[in-house]
């Protein structure tokens, strides 16, 4: 992984990832209070949208970490996708209206080139509070690795 360190100036934050170079406004920073499983201390991310990489987006850390994930709207992968949030997730996201939430699934590329999407534990963002969380609903029926065909 070879991201350049984060630079700050009056225009905002420069985020240079392996996937994109973007200038982001500090107001666009999303807080993940619990980090993500495996990245518990990484709590601030931005969501980078590079049109030529659609439907992919990049969830990139901005706290000096170069951690980043390729993410995609799970409905773009599986149009019928629907997951029910648990009460602790809803509380932590600070919402009682699921319709305003943004759902993203992390893309996993194996060493053999297989592309899969994690539909079991999606990332859910509450734009009203700029807060996010990777959830693992107990009733979720989708696989951890939903493989995308060749």
Which residue ranges make up the site for other proteins (CB under 8 A)?
1, 18-19, 36-39, 52-56, 67-70, 72, 76-77, 86-92, 106-110, 115, 118, 120-121, 134, 136, 138, 144-145, 148-150
Of 32, 107, 31, the C-alpha closest to 69 is 107
Cα–Cα distance, 51 to 147 (Å, whole number)? 23
Q: Supply the DSSP string of 20-55, one letter for each residue.
A: -EEEE-GGGPEE-TT-BTTBTT--EEEEE--GGGTT
In the complex, the smallest distance separating the C-beta of residue 26 from other proteins, rounded to whole angstroms, is 23
Q: Supply the DSSP string of 55-108, one letter for each residue.
A: T-EEEEE-SS---EEEEE-HHHH-TT---PPPHHHHHHHT-S-GGG-EEEEEEE
In the complex, the smallest distance separating the C-beta of residue 76 from other proteins, rounded to whole angstroms, is 5
Measured from the CB atom, is 24 or 74 closer to other proteins? 74
Measured from the CB atom, is 13 or 65 closer to other proteins? 65
In the complex, the smallest distance separating the C-beta of residue 45 from other proteins, rounded to whole angstroms, is 12
Number of residues that this document lists for the chain: 150
In the complex, the smallest distance separating the C-beta of residue 20 from other proteins, rounded to whole angstroms, is 8
Q: Which residues lie across from 58 on neighbouring strands?
A: 48, 70
Cα–Cα distance, 80 to 149 (Å, whole number)? 18
Measured from the CB atom, is 16 or 120 closer to other proteins? 120
In the complex, the smallest distance separating the C-beta of residue 130 from other proteins, rounded to whole angstroms, is 20
Measured from the CB atom, is 10 or 112 closer to other proteins? 112
Measured from the CB atom, is 19 or 102 closer to other proteins? 19
């Amino acid at each position: 992984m070879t991201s350049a360190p984060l630079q700050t100036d009056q225009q905002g934050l420069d985020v240079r990832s392996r996937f994109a170079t973007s200038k982001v406004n500090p107001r666009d920073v999303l807080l993940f209070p619990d980090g993500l499983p495996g990245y518990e201390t990484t709590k601030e991310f931005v969501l980078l949208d590079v049109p030529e990489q659609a439907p992919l987006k990049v969830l990139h850390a901005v706290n000096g970490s170069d951690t980043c994930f390729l993410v995609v709207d799970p409905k773009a992968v599986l149009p019928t996708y629907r997951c029910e949030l648990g009460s602790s997730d809803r509380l932590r996201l600070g919402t009682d209206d699921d319709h305003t939430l943004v759902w993203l699934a992390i893309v996993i590329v194996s060493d053999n080139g297989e592309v899969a999407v994690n539909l079991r534990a999606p990332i859910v963002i509450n734009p009203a509070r700029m807060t996010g969380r990777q959830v693992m609903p107990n009733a979720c029926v989708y696989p951890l690795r939903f493989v995308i065909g060749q």
